[in-house]
Structure 1
């Protein structure tokens, strides 16, 4: 899993991510990996979230309408 982005709070990504063929709910890309735990967020819970969006903070940015 050396190709993963640097994840400060996930020293061993194999425990929190699984392989998938789904697109990330945040970036819309097929990255091959998704977060397998529950996501605590305001609004709709994303079904598939890639480690790159977590590392970049994309899901933590406030959404404006």
Structure 2
């Protein structure tokens, strides 16, 4: 059986891909420039890998 679940990335994993500081990334999220996370409580946020890929393509970051 195939696993069709999308990978969810921690902020540290996003920062390894995007190469910006944590404060810069969170500022972009707050200003709606970057994708909004999926929240699993007050201190647990994850981003869909596909949303990060789309963001990179849209912003031409790499």
Rg (Cα) greater in structure:
2
TM-score w.r.t. structure 2 length? 0.27
TM-score w.r.t. structure 1 length? 0.27
Question: 1 or 2 for the larger relative contact order (CA 8 Å, sep ≥6)?
Answer: 2
